[in-house]
Structure formats: structure tokens, C-alpha cells
Chains A and B, each alone.
Chain A
Amino acid sequence: MSADTTGTTTRTPGVRDGLDTDAARPDGTPKVTGAFAFSSDLYAQQMLWGRTLRSPHAAARIVSIDTSAAEAMPGVAAVLTAPDVPGKATYGLEHADQPVFASDVVRYQGEAVAVVAAEHPELALRAVRAIEVVYAVTAPLTDPEAAIDAPPIHPDGNVFRHLPLRHGDIHATGEVVVEGTYEMGMQDQAFLGPESGLAIPSEDGGVELYMSTQWLHVDRDQVAACLALPAEQVRMTLAGVGGAFGAREDVSLQVHVSLLALRTNRPVKMLYSREESFHGHVHRHPAKMWFRHHADRDGTLVKVEARLVLDGGAYASSSTAVIANAVCFAGGPYRVPNAEIHGYAVRTNNPPCGAMRGFGVVQACFGHEAQMDRLAEALGMDPVELRLHNALRPGDELLTGQVITGTAPVREVIEAAVAHDLPPLPVDGESVMALPGGAGLTAERRDVRRGTGIAVSIKNLMFSEGFDDYSTAGVKLELDPRGRPIATVHCACAEVGQGFVTLAQQITRTALGVEQVLLRNADTQIGSAGSTSASRQTWMSGGAVQLACEAVQERLFERASVRSGVAVEAGRRRHFRMRDGEVVEVDGTFAMSVAELLAEGPIEEIREHHHPATEPLDEDGQGNAHVSFAFAAHRATVDVDPELGLVKVLQVATGQDIGRALNPRAVVGQIEGWIAQGVGLAVMEEILVQDGLIKNPSFTDYLIPTALDMPSVVQTVIEQPEPGAPFGAKGVGEPPTISSTPAVVAAIRAATGRELPRVPVRPQDIALT
């Protein structure tokens, strides 16, 4: 394990389940017994069931809405439409451009038109079906390229953001030039726990909302605005979250369920079906991308040109930030002295798109890595060699002109990925399940071709472009009834499965030397923790817990100085330290147990943690817009049946830059899990949209990898502590999904010789082109 070089953590050796251990999840036992309460498990006496009526059309004018039949049905407590919204009529994560209920037009299939509350979910469904809406269907605008200049389909226009980036000499040319266009389909986060929440009206006229979400405070603010309530009358508590991956960053049912609870004055639960979930959250942006790479004969990159068009669908969500990531990292993890990039995120009548793990970089990486392979071929150079030759190093400049001041072990992650053994060659008597097509018995080994490919990625960590990004944590240290110290951590960070709850305990144990650490529910009774996204919570909320622990420690030292008579002016840390549950004098003999120091009363401190400020991008896309970067390399090996176009991904080998493994076992799980999603995007996952309509809104037709689809994963983590990061750790969740996709596609190209400019790679792309 690497040493902590940041010098910001007081390490207390010997504390059980502290940092750098495989500490167990505090929610593990209830999750294996079935007792853990997910948002869909919530229940309240006298609870009603809410249900949404959604537009079946991608584009239409609403001629009339008649709710009278639904209202007259027995067991129906409320039917609400746009005029029933007491406050702001629209909401949105970054731009409030989405109506709570459509009233004049609908702009995508699945847009909410009305909600009902009824005594039984089946009655709610029947009531929804009894609402009569007359639509005048219009032609949907579904081509993102055409949308740029098409008449606006929303008062805010069709272009969410056009971001140009000009770096160095945009007229520079290289001796070797390769060009290509690439396309990515729409991926779904496909978390397993459907959108769900419970709203309970409170006596002060407000609402208590128990919700699975990624960011309690922005939900709260949007709900309060739409309900015309002060923020403090909307009290949100995180309910158990069954996965998130970006899809819970936007509001889904939060406003609707709260409106129903206030109207009926009864608790209301809403729970999306899987089909409704596909319509009820944003997806990964589909992309059309053009790239031209220039290099010298020796492989040195000279310039990257690109035009990236992301389809944001009907409403803005986080499209403006997604396109910024795509543009900023369009060159990949390489030294690129000159660049001209144009990024567009546009509005169409397709399903809205927003955050999904990798956030814009996934799209760009598929393009730039295909280009690197093309360039290697044009140069007659080994693809790994070409990447090593251009790999970013600390001190290098990004396309934005920002200099990397932290760690950048790009060479190391590439070398680690390719150092792993390749998967074993086929053996006689192998199971048919080992072949592409598996139990379908469609392939014979002699026809199967094997290929290997590599891809490398860079991802920004935390929020960029000048956003004041922070988290808040409170730590209370007191004595339990048996006189032993116990710490309680309070933070609004959404635990979505990633393991922040474990990390918060580990940090507190290590910082304060206490074994008993409780976690309060994440809620809005404390300040914001920001979103569980952008690989940011270990750094942001981990850092907030650390600061709060240090503040508590400071108070312990203050008490120790009074008790010991050791006079301290500034910097109590020079005089005292923690050791084995005691506060001891550094250069003296005084020692007193934490328990004794707590006898005079509990200590509680709340701290905010901000990351270093970033800047907005200027009109040329230049500026110090990002905080920190993480890198990963993936080498994929596939078997392909070229006749049927079926692919079996055998192995993904990876090297990943993680700063420091605070819980090594959790790191392994994060990396494996997100390679699974990258493999899914490469060969099977796509929301099929035709004329704006989703053709496959179910797990029958939208396929995610099963245990049989999942390759073996071999991984090496590179631990170079990141300066300025709490504990030196970088977020680990996003990089695995970014370059695993292009690595798999490169492997299929190597096996088949096909161009494969589009993901997911479909059987017909291999067999019929």
C-alpha cells in the first residue's frame, strides 16, 4: 500500500476497520437478509398509490384533457394536471425547462401529463387509463444534426450548448492524417431498483419525502419551488437506493408524489414499473462524431479536429455539462498541441438524456480511441506503442490549456493493462457455453476468430467549469451508555451502492481512534453534500468527514490542554496527538483517554469541504476548468463468430489510476462492475428509438450483461497519491466504463477486419456489412 503523502490525515495505527482495510459495509447484513429498506419497500398507514399518465407520442399538441371519468372512479383520491401545480410550472437539474405536467404540447414519448392517487396500485392504473387526452400529433424532430437549424421545439431553443475549443495552432497539419465518423447509441443506466418514493404531508403544511436519489438538496429545491413552499418545509430523507449511475440525478417523481400527498393530505407512494422507468429517467446521450487526427511520421500527435453532436432529447437535464466533458477530453489522455473541436448538445423530440457514468467522456473516448488505432495502422505502428509515445505526463497541457498539476500515470496504466496474461487458448472438450452464441449451439470453434484490442481514457473528477462544489458533514463524539466513545456521522451524501457509508466509518475510526461509528440517515437537516456522481463523493464528502473529525479532535486537544495544564497558543496538533484511544502529549508525559475527556460532555462539529476553485471555459474552450483527472487502460480479448456476428468477450485486463485504495475490496468491485457496463455498451445495450418512440422498454428487450456475458476481469491498480486529495484518493467508479467499450470494439475489429464505427456492435454490423 502506498504511503499517505498528503499529510492531511492523522493516522491512528491499530484501529480496527479504519482506512486502507477491507472494512465491511454497515448495510451489508440487512442487504443479504432482505431487511434493508429500499425506497420501493416503504409503507405508511393509510398510504395511497400514485401513478403517472404519460404521453404516447413524441410530439403533439394537447387539444384537451378530461379527467372526470378518472375522478369519479371509486377509490381514486386525486387526479392532478398542470393547473394543479401551485408554484413553478417547470423544473430541471441545471435549466428549469421541463414542465411538471405537459399542458399545451408534449415533446417526448413518456412526458408526464397527469398523476393520480388511488387506494390500490391497480385502481391507480385504471384511473390513469380513464383520463381522456386528445392529442393533435405533429411530426417529431428526431435528427440531432437537423435540430441545430430547425425551428425551435421549445421556447429556449434547440441548441442547449455549442462549445467551440481552439488550442494552439488550429491550422497546423501533420504528415499523416486519418479521419473517421463514429456513432454511439442510447444507453440506459438500468439500475435495478425502480424509481420510487413516499411523501407524507406534515402538520406545518409541508411534506416529508423519502426518496431514492443522488442529490437530496437539489431535489428539495426543485420540489419546494414547484410546490411554492419554503425549502425548510420540504424535508427529504434518503431511502434505500437500488443503484443510480446518473439516472437519479434528475427529478423523476419527486414533485408529483409531493403534490399528491399535499392534495390528499395522506401518505402517497409512487413506484415506477420497469417500462415506466425507461421513460421516467434520462439516458446516456447518443452521439454522432467526426474526428481528424494529424501526426508526424514518428507517431507524435500534431492536431485533433472533431465535431461532436450529442442528442439531448426533449429537455436540458445536464446536457450542457455533458458536452463540455466530451469536448474537453476529445483528444484523450494524450499530448495534443493543437486542436479545434466543436461540440453541440441539441434538443430533439427523442427521450431526454443526461447523466450516466462517464458523462460525455464515454462518447468522445469511443471516437478518439478508434482514431488512435486508425493512426497506428496508417503509421505501421503498434497501437500500444503509439499510445505510450503520446501518453500525457504530469506537467503536460490538456486541450483546454490547463496544466496537469497532479498525478497522471498514463504510461503506467497502459503498461499494467498489457502486462496481464492473455486468456487461455481454447481446449479440446470445452463447454459450448464458452463459444459465442453459447447454448444456442450456433458456432463451431474452427470458425471462431479471436481478437485483442486496447483503449485508454482520461476522466475529470468532480464538478468543473467554476461550479462551487462542496459537501457538508457533521461528526459528534460522545460516550455511549457503557461509557465508551461513540462517533455519529451526519452527511447528506447519497449512498447508492458505492460504499460511502463504509468509507465514512473508516475515516472516522482512523481519525478519532474510535471503533464505534454510527451513521445518521442522509437527509436535508444538514447542508448539501452535492451529488453522488462525477466520481466526487470520496473526495468531497470523504473530505468533509475528515475535516469534521479534525475539528472534533481539535476540541479534544483543547480539553486535554486544560486538563494537563499544557499551554498551547496556535496549532494544538504540535502539542497533542491521538494514540490507541488516548490523547497524549507529544513531548511530555500527559495522557488521557478519549472517554475521560468526553466525560464533560459530547463534542460536535460540522464542516464544509470545497475543492479548489475552477474556472469557466472561455470563448475558445480554454481555462483551468477541472480539478483532477483519473486514467485507465483496458485490453479486451474477444471470440467472434463472423457468420452470425455473435461476440463472446473473454477477458478485460485493466490498469487503473486510483490514487490510493481506501478500501481495496470495494475498489475491486467498482472496477469489475463498471467494466460490465462498458462491455454491455460495446455489444448489447441500446435503447432503440424510432421516430422518437422507445421500442424496447423492458429487460426482455433491453439487454444488460448476465453472469454468462461477463468476461473475466484482471486488474492492476496504480497507487500514486493525488496531491490535494483527501487521503490521496481518486474516485474509481467512472474510468472502468469509459475505455472498456472501445477496447472491446477494437478487439472485434481485430478479429473480423470490420470497420465497426458504431456501438453497440450489433450482429448485423459484423455479419452483413
Chain B
Amino acid sequence: MSDHSSPSRPPPSAAQPSVTETYELSVNGRARSVPDAWIGESLLYVLRERLGLPGAKNACEQGECGSCSLYVDGVLLNSCCVLAADAVDADIRTVEGLGDGGHLTDVQQAFLDAGAVQCGFCIPGLIVTVHDLLDRVPDPDELQVREAISGNLCRCTGYGRILQAVEDVKLARLADPEGSS
């Protein structure tokens, strides 16, 4: 599951838009080379199309839907709105880097247990967002949760089971502070 070792894809065989550069990104604790890439590419594109990390999703590519949420230097961002070449030297953490040694995180498990997953397209972004919320605010009330995830659009669930999953993780973490992911 956690894909810390995804193989980089070969660069496209022929023409590329100019201007290209070769640079290195730090993704999920690993240095990843991005050879000969057009500098106009978003971080979302480079992760998905060059580094083989499709967990961040591309629903709007204009910062409205949150499907591409990830951490850059510990800050939750929409990766569609970040140029990859600008993220050099930053610590990038994607949904693929959340799990520990192949185990689901408490948030991932709670989403499954609560029935929060339907088509699933928004889910990786929501998982990252909920981790960010509960790591910052251990005991949010319902309105705080709704506000925190309001930048992540979901079209299938009406958010009910997602809110349930967040509540479940919150209570479990408050009951057992040592056991949280």
C-alpha cells in the first residue's frame, strides 16, 4: 500500500515543451530525481505523471476541490497550485507516505469502518486533510470539522459518514493518546 519506492517513469521519448530542467524533490522522505522536465508542470502533475504517485487526485486543478491535498513542509496545500520546480528543497508528504510500514493509519481505517468511501476520488485528499486537522486540533467540535474539510469536495457521500469517521478517530485518540497515528 504505502508506496515509498514507486519507480520513476521514463521521461517522454521525444519533444517536450520548453523550458526544461532537471531537479530533485524530497517526497515521503526520499530524494526523487525529476530529469528534463518542463518547468511549467505542477507538483500534482510531477507526482502523478513522473514519479508514479497517483494518490493526489486531479478533480479541478484550480485549487477548489482539495482532491490533491498534501503536505509541503508540514503545511496542507493543494498541489495543483504549486509548481513542482518551486518545491525543490521542501519536504513533500503525500497520502502514500502517511501509512507506517504498510499499516493503515487510524484515519484511513476509520474511513473504511464508517462507510465513508464510495467512488473514492476525493478520499485520499480528505485523508490528508483530516490528519492535518486532528494533528493540529485534537478535540474539534462538529462545526470546526465541517469547516476544516469544507475545502475538500465530495460528490458521493453528502459527508455524513466522513464526519462520522472523523468523530471516531477523535474519540479514539482522546481515549488513547499514545495509540494515535
B residues 125-167 touching A (CB-CB < 8 Å): 127, 143, 145-147, 149-163
Given contacts A242-B120, A708-B150, contact A192 B104 (CB under 8 A): no
Given contacts A193-B119, A243-B156, A673-B156, contact A698 B62 (CB under 8 A): yes
**A273 lies within 8 A of B16 (CB):** no
- Chain B residue nearest to A676 (CB atoms) is B158
Bound Cα distance from A244 to B150, whole angstroms: 22
B residues 156-181 touching A (CB-CB < 8 Å): 156-163
A498 within 8 A of B: yes
Bound Cα distance from A28 to B45, whole angstroms: 25
**A75 lies within 8 A of B65 (CB):** no
Bound Cα distance from A59 to B111, whole angstroms: 47
Distance (whole angstroms) from the CB of B136 to the closest CB of chain A: 17
Distance (whole angstroms) from the CB of B52 to the closest CB of chain A: 8
Interface 0/1 of A179-190, CB less than 8 Å to B? 000000000011
Report the stretch among A117-125, A155-163, A219-227 that lies at the interface.
A117-125
**B120 lies within 8 A of A699 (CB):** no
B118 within 8 A of A: yes
**A75 lies within 8 A of B16 (CB):** yes
**A669 lies within 8 A of B157 (CB):** yes
B residues 85-101 touching A (CB-CB < 8 Å): 94-96, 99
Given contacts A497-B119, A708-B146, contact A274 B59 (CB under 8 A): yes
**B122 lies within 8 A of A192 (CB):** yes
A424 within 8 A of B: no
Report the stretch among A37-45, A251-259, A544-552, A611-619 that lies at the interface.
A37-45
- Chain B residue nearest to A667 (CB atoms) is B115
A residues 113-133 touching B (CB-CB < 8 Å): 118-123, 126
**B157 lies within 8 A of A704 (CB):** no
Distance (whole angstroms) from the CB of A670 to the closest CB of chain B: 8
Q: Please give, as numbers and ranges, the residues of chain B lying within 8 Å of A191 by CB-CB distance.
A: 119, 121, 155
Distance (whole angstroms) from the CB of A696 to the closest CB of chain B: 12
**B56 lies within 8 A of A34 (CB):** yes
Given contacts A41-B48, A708-B146, contact A273 B123 (CB under 8 A): no
**B143 lies within 8 A of A431 (CB):** yes
Interface 0/1 of A1-38, CB less than 8 Å to B? 00000000000000000000010110111111111111
Q: Please give, as numbers and ranges, the residues of chain B lying within 8 Å of A123 by CB-CB distance.
A: 15-17
A353 within 8 A of B: no
**A40 lies within 8 A of B115 (CB):** no
Q: Please give, as numbers and ranges, the residues of chain B lying within 8 Å of A690 by CB-CB distance.
A: none
Bound Cα distance from A32 to B14, whole angstroms: 35
Residue of A32, A434, A499, A710 near B112 (CB, 8 A) is: A32
Bound Cα distance from A24 to B162, whole angstroms: 15
Bound Cα distance from A676 to B58, whole angstroms: 22
Interface 0/1 of A647-682, CB less than 8 Å to B? 000000000000000000110110011111100000
**A35 lies within 8 A of B3 (CB):** yes
Distance (whole angstroms) from the CB of B14 to the closest CB of chain A: 5
Q: Please give, as numbers and ranges, the residues of chain B lying within 8 Å of A121 by CB-CB distance.
A: 45
Residue of A43, A119, A497 near B156 (CB, 8 A) is: A497
**A668 lies within 8 A of B161 (CB):** yes
A residues 29-84 touching B (CB-CB < 8 Å): 29-38, 40-41, 43, 45-46, 74-75
Secondary structure class of chain A's binding surface, majority of residues: loop
Q: Please give, as numbers and ranges, the residues of chain A lying within 8 Å of B56 by CB-CB distance.
A: 34
**B123 lies within 8 A of A35 (CB):** no
Given contacts A75-B14, A707-B146, A707-B163, contact A194 B38 (CB under 8 A): no
**A192 lies within 8 A of B115 (CB):** no
- Residue among B118, B122, B146, B155 with max Cβ neighbours from chain A (10 Å): B155
A433 within 8 A of B: yes
B24 within 8 A of A: no
Given contacts A31-B117, A33-B104, A242-B121, contact A120 B154 (CB under 8 A): no
- Chain B residue nearest to A75 (CB atoms) is B15
Bound Cα distance from A27 to B112, whole angstroms: 10
A589 within 8 A of B: no
Bound Cα distance from A433 to B2, whole angstroms: 37
- Residue among A35, A241, A499 with max Cβ neighbours from chain B (10 Å): A35
Residue of B1, B65, B95 near A29 (CB, 8 A) is: B1
Q: Please give, as numbers and ranges, the residues of chain A lying within 8 Å of B30 by CB-CB distance.
A: none
Q: Please give, as numbers and ranges, the residues of chain B lying within 8 Å of A22 by CB-CB distance.
A: 115
Distance (whole angstroms) from the CB of B57 to the closest CB of chain A: 7
Distance (whole angstroms) from the CB of B62 to the closest CB of chain A: 6
Residue of B15, B145, B159 near A676 (CB, 8 A) is: B159
**A43 lies within 8 A of B9 (CB):** yes
Bound Cα distance from A35 to B3, whole angstroms: 8
B108 within 8 A of A: yes
Distance (whole angstroms) from the CB of B65 to the closest CB of chain A: 6
Bound Cα distance from A28 to B108, whole angstroms: 9
Distance (whole angstroms) from the CB of B81 to the closest CB of chain A: 12
A496 within 8 A of B: yes
Distance (whole angstroms) from the CB of B153 to the closest CB of chain A: 6
Q: Please give, as numbers and ranges, the residues of chain B lying within 8 Å of A713 by CB-CB distance.
A: 158, 160
Bound Cα distance from A676 to B158, whole angstroms: 5
**A119 lies within 8 A of B15 (CB):** yes
- Chain A residue nearest to B40 (CB atoms) is A122
A residues 355-405 touching B (CB-CB < 8 Å): none
Given contacts A700-B64, A713-B158, contact A192 B121 (CB under 8 A): yes
- Chain A residue nearest to B108 (CB atoms) is A32
B60 within 8 A of A: yes
- Chain A residue nearest to B105 (CB atoms) is A32
Q: Please give, as numbers and ranges, the residues of chain A lying within 8 Å of B155 by CB-CB distance.
A: 189-192, 243, 245, 673, 676-677, 704
**B60 lies within 8 A of A274 (CB):** yes
**B60 lies within 8 A of A242 (CB):** no
**B64 lies within 8 A of A707 (CB):** no
Distance (whole angstroms) from the CB of B67 to the closest CB of chain A: 6
**B119 lies within 8 A of A34 (CB):** no
Q: Please give, as numbers and ranges, the residues of chain A lying within 8 Å of B59 by CB-CB distance.
A: 192-194, 242, 274, 699
Residue of A36, A119, A433, A704 near B16 (CB, 8 A) is: A119
15 A-B pairs, CB-CB below 8 angstroms? A27-B117, A31-B120, A34-B55, A38-B57, A120-B17, A192-B65, A192-B119, A242-B59, A274-B60, A433-B146, A672-B157, A699-B60, A704-B153, A707-B147, A707-B162
4 shortest interchain CB distances as A-B pairs? A34-B55, A75-B15, A497-B119, A31-B120
